[in-house]
């Protein structure tokens, strides 16, 4: 009788060593030691690889030279998500090419190909396939299938999920794992393919590799940025694209859930959902770089998700557009470095966040100006969003940071309501000038009046003269880095003393020892956000500070901070949500959209010439009114 013996657990892999691969439906995180540590049937689905949030018992697939550690070389095979890793051993050198082929129409199953190539000598390879279904709980039912061509496939199933492992046959070991040892001699080539889903179709790695390269080449050819930060901008755009769901148009906030914002803490949230804010800002960044396909798909997804009912619009949705995001704890997972509880779902789905209207409007306006055709359904949505801003902007909410404390009148929320109406009025007036006005003149005039009222309200009640800053909420003393967005929204001119002293206060009070920006200072009593533990510096806000410094004319400081931020990227260009300055480690879910789109926005600002305006103007966005600015803007 076979006895399953549990091998000892290994420590959590540093986030800096994790590399994302995806096909715009499913995704995995593969470590530089050759271990698939995170993966589900689809982004936001149940995990069958959850080692990242526990240990090997919760699901992993390791493929590497026997006894080897990190790869000696690990990098991208061009502007794509094809990973090449090489190990130098005492017996020779081996290379593994890992990728997930694209899913242009959503019909084919998701696949992870790993092609093992012997470069020199003869290297003993070791594959350990150990999935754990239902978020790291179940080993699955196993069987060996014989295909029509005589090849054998390992098939594991649990409920609705099926995994097929093609390639050399694995055998079950004393630990209950499926293992394989084989030699990678010079010139040899061994293909192992993991398929998610039950299918009779055979995987064809070479065909899929060509299709993957072609797909990425065609997509990156549309990117129009050619400034001094080309590599980080293009890599950030590629990673942002990996967050988009090609079949539905949804945009996931991150590719993971439950990764802690402070090691050992309880701020462990599920980010595998479509926040309207995060999605809009991701789409905005891609549009500003010339990528419009994702914007078109997201616009259609947005219409389906909101379903004609803006007053009951949620702040986030599941990636399929549904609203069931009930938060629950996965108590059987010990958490990344013991950070518990690990959560799935997100209770913030039921919150009120008034800033969302402004971000959605900005993305929709930018997409239309960049070349997406006007759509009567989108016009109706935009009008409804404007009406909702008028109705709710004075009401307290939970704000951009989704506090789990008391509702307040957050300054950022009011600012984005102003921005939404500001953009909406300009958009409606421009459309009226072409004879396709989406709203009657009286409605547009009312929006303009309410826009001015919001601005007056912020200036009169949100600036604290004792603190010498616009504070986190009306009547408060606490600072909030989200207010830095005043510097990029044209709310105040760059020489306004209130704006300058706000930037100074945030730089003085909210930066860590490395000069990176915290969102706000949590309070151990829970007074600020309802939680009592701490968190790292929020990388998106650090990029916001770059933009703010550049906007007020302190460009040397801005470039210096941007340079330091770029050093935080992993060798594969990945950024997580936060940075722990004390431990010099990334923390939070990854890759996350927030720091990636903020990096792109900061790079665009830094590469504009003086006086070029706040927004880079694409050729398809030019009008007679913007032609002069466009002529002096950096070509992107």
> What tens digit of pLDDT does each residue of 307-362 get?
999 999 999 999 999 999 999 999 999 999 999 999 999 999 999 999 999 999 99
Residue 479 has pLDDT above 60, yes or no: yes
Residue 617 has pLDDT above 70, yes or no: no
Distance CA 10, CA 55 (A): 6
Per-residue pLDDT, 624: 35
Per-residue pLDDT, 302: 98
Distance CA 17, CA 436 (A): 52
- The set of residues, in sequence order, having a beta carbon less than 8 Å from that of 5 and lying 6+ positions away, is 174, 175
Structure tokens at 147: 């295909």
- Average pLDDT score over residue span 211-232: 96
Distance CA 608, CA 417 (A): 27
Dump pLDDT digits (tens) for 396-405.
Answer: 999 999 999 8
Per-residue pLDDT, 634: 28
Distance CA 366, CA 118 (A): 49
DSSP state of 591: S
Provide the mean pLDDT of the chain. Answer: 92
DSSP run (H or E) holding 585: strand 585-587
Provide the 3-class DSSP secondary structure of residue 549.
Answer: helix
Locate all alpha helices (DSSP H) within 148-307, ordered by sequence.
205-220, 230-242, 276-288, 293-306
- The set of residues, in sequence order, having a beta carbon less than 8 Å from that of 161 and lying 6+ positions away, is 41, 46, 48, 133, 196
Provide the 3-class DSSP secondary structure of residue 463.
Answer: strand
| Listed residue (280, 435, 427, 300) closest to 368, CA to CA | 427
C-alpha distances out from residue 543 to 5, 217, 482, 603, Å: 48, 28, 11, 9
CB atoms within 10 A of CB 247: 17
- The set of residues, in sequence order, having a beta carbon less than 8 Å from that of 636 and lying 6+ positions away, is 224, 225, 226, 227, 288, 289, 290, 604, 607, 616, 618
CB atoms within 10 A of CB 92: 19
CB atoms within 10 A of CB 526: 14
Per-residue pLDDT, 392: 98
The terminus-to-terminus CA distance of the chain in angstroms comes to 66
pLDDT band for 619, please (50, 70, 90 cuts).
Answer: very low
Residue 623 has pLDDT above 50, yes or no: no
Dump pLDDT digits (tens) for 87-101.
Answer: 999 999 999 999 999
Distance CA 589, CA 257 (A): 6
pLDDT band for 629, please (50, 70, 90 cuts).
Answer: very low
Pairing label, strands 18-22, 83-89: unpaired
Distance CA 215, CA 220 (A): 9
- Average pLDDT score over residue span 27-47: 97
pLDDT band for 107, please (50, 70, 90 cuts).
Answer: confident
More confident residue, 106 or 529: 529
Locate all alpha helices (DSSP H) within 221-355, ordered by sequence.
230-242, 276-288, 293-306
Residue 636 has pLDDT above 80, yes or no: no
Per-residue pLDDT, 530: 81
Structure tokens at 221: 């050819």
Per-residue pLDDT, 52: 98
Distance CA 20, CA 301 (A): 24
Specify burial of residue 305 (Cβ count, 10 A radius: 0-12, 13-18, 19+). buried
Per-residue pLDDT, 436: 93
The DSSP string of 63-111 is EEETT--S-SEEEESSSSS-EEEEEEETTEEEEEEEE----SSS-SPEE
pLDDT band for 9, please (50, 70, 90 cuts).
Answer: low
C-alpha distances out from residue 168 to 121, 126, 389, 426, 512, Å: 21, 12, 59, 62, 51
Distance CA 126, CA 55 (A): 19
More confident residue, 113 or 632: 113
Check: CB of residue 613 under 8 Å from CB of residue 490. no
pLDDT band for 529, please (50, 70, 90 cuts).
Answer: confident
Per-residue pLDDT, 377: 97
**213-230 burial, b for 16+ CB within 10 Å, e for fewer?**
bebbeebbeebebeeebe
- Average pLDDT score over residue span 424-433: 97
Pairing label, strands 27-31, 35-40: antiparallel
Structure tokens at 330: 């996965």
| Listed residue (577, 582, 537, 585) closest to 561, CA to CA | 537
Dump pLDDT digits (tens) for 561-611.
Answer: 999 999 999 999 999 999 999 999 999 999 999 999 999 999 999 998 333
DSSP state of 48: E
Per-residue pLDDT, 8: 55
What percent of the chain stands above pLDDT 70? 94
| Listed residue (530, 54, 536) closest to 263, CA to CA | 536
Per-residue pLDDT, 6: 54
Residue 258 has pLDDT above 80, yes or no: yes
- Average pLDDT score over residue span 62-79: 97
């Amino acid at each position: 009788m076979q006895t399953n013996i549990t091998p000892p657990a290994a420590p959590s892999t540093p986030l800096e060593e994790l590399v994302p691969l995806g096909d715009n439906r499913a995704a995995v995180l593969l470590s530089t030691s050759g271990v698939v540590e995170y993966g589900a049937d689809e982004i936001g689905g149940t995990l069958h690889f959850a080692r990242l949030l526990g240990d090997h018992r919760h699901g992993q697939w390791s493929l590497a030279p026997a006894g080897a550690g990190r790869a000696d070389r690990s990098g991208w095979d061009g502007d794509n998500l094809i990973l090449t890793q090489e190990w130098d051993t005492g017996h020779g050198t081996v290379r593994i090419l890992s990728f997930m082929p694209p899913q242009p129409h959503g019909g084919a199953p998701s696949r992870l190909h790993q092609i093992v190539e012997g470069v020199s000598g003869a290297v003993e390879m070791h594959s350990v396939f150990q999935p754990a279904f239902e978020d790291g709980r179940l080993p699955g039912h196993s069987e060996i299938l014989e295909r029509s061509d005589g090849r054998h496939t390992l098939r594991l199933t649990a409920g609705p999920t099926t995994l097929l492992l093609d390639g050399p046959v694995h055998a079950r070991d004393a630990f209950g794992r499926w293992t394989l040892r084989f030699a990678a001699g010079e010139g040899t080539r061994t293909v192992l393919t993991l398929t998610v889903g039950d299918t009779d179709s055979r995987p064809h790695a070479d065909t899929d590799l060509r299709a993957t390269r072609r797909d990425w080449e065609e997509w990156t050819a549309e990117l129009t940025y050619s400034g001094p930060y080309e590599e980080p901008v293009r890599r950030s755009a590629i990673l942002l694209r990996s967050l988009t769901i090609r079949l539905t148009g949804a945009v996931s906030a991150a590719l993971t859930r439950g990764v802690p914002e402070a090691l050992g803490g309880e701020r462990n949230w599920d980010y595998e959902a479509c926040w309207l804010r995060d999605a809009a800002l991701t789409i905005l960044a891609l549009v500003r770089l010339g990528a419009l396909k994702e914007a078109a798909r997201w616009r259609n997804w947005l219409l389906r998700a909101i379903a004609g009912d803006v007053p009951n619009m949620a702040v986030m949705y599941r990636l399929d557009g549904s609203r069931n995001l009930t938060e629950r704890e996965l108590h059987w997972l010990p958490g990344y470095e013991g950070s518990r509880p690990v959560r799935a779902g997100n209770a913030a789905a039921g919150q009120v966040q008034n800033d969302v209207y402004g971000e959605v409007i900005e993305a929709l306006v930018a997409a239309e100006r960049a070349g997406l055709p006007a759509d009567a359904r989108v016009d109706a949505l935009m009008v409804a969003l404007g009406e909702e801003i008028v109705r709710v902007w004075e009401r307290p909410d939970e704000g951009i940071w989704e506090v789990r404390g008391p509702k307040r009148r957050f300054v950022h929320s009011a600012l984005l309501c102003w921005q939404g109406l500001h953009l909406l009025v300009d958009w409606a007036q421009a459309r009226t000038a072409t004879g396709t006005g989406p709203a009657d003149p009286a409605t547009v005039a009312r929006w303009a009046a309410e826009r001015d009222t919001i601005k007056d309200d912020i200036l009169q009640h949100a600036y604290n003269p004792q603190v010498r800053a616009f504070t986190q909420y009306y009547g408060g003393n606490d600072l909030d880095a989200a207010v830095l967005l005043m510097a990029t929204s044209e709310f105040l001119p760059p020489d306004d003393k209130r704006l300058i002293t706000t930037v100074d206060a945030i730089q003085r009070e909210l930066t860590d020892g490395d000069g990176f920006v915290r969102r706000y200072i949590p309070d151990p009593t829970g007074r600020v956000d309802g939680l009592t533990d701490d968190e790292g510096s929020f990388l998106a806000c650090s990029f916001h500070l770059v933009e703010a410094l550049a906007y007020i004319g302190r460009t040397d400081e801005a470039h210096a901070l941007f340079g330091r931020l770029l050093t935080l990227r992993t060798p594969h260009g990945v950024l997580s949500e936060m940075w722990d300055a004390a431990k010099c480690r990334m923390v939070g879910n990854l890759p996350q959209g927030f720091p990636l789109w903020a990096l792109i926005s900061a790079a665009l600002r830094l590469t504009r010439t003086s006086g070029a305006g706040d927004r880079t103007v694409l050729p398809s966005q030019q009008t007679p009114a913007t032609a002069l600015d466009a002529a002096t803007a950096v070509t992107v």
